[in-house]
Amino acid sequence: MKRSNLKFCPRCGAQNHATDAFCIRCGYNFSRRRKTNLGSIILVLILVIVGWIVLRTFLNKPIIPPELMTWIKSLFNTKTSG
């Protein structure tokens, strides 16, 4: 059997044909999709944003650095003028 025609079970490590829907040793369902925990990702993003705002406020600096604002404005100016 060619190597490209094989897949390995993530549960037990058994070799299976690439077209198999289930593992021949343990019955693992290859069509099962891993669910991304979207709630955790959103929570982390919110915590990073809140942390950034708290840090910038504590340091008595603008939340969005002026250099970044200048760069963003230059992006929009070059797109609208061309």
pLDDT at 3 over 70: no
pLDDT at 81 over 70: no
CA distances to 10, 25, 27, 28 from 33, in Å: 12, 20, 15, 12
Q: Is 51 among the domain residues? A: yes
Q: Is 56 among the domain residues? A: yes
Structural domain tally of the chain? 1
Please report the pLDDT score of residue 51 as a whole number.
97
pLDDT, one tens digit per residue, over 29-78 is 988 766 667 888 899 999 999 999 999 999 999 999 999 999 999 998 87
Q: Is 17 among the domain residues? A: no
Q: Is 71 among the domain residues? A: yes
Q: Is 60 among the domain residues? A: yes
Cβ partners under 8 Å of residue 28, min gap 6: 9, 10, 11, 12, 22
pLDDT at 2 over 90: no
CA distances to 10, 25, 33, 34, 35 from 21, in Å: 13, 12, 12, 15, 18
Please report the pLDDT score of residue 56 as a whole number.
95
Note down the domain range covering 71.
Answer: 38-81
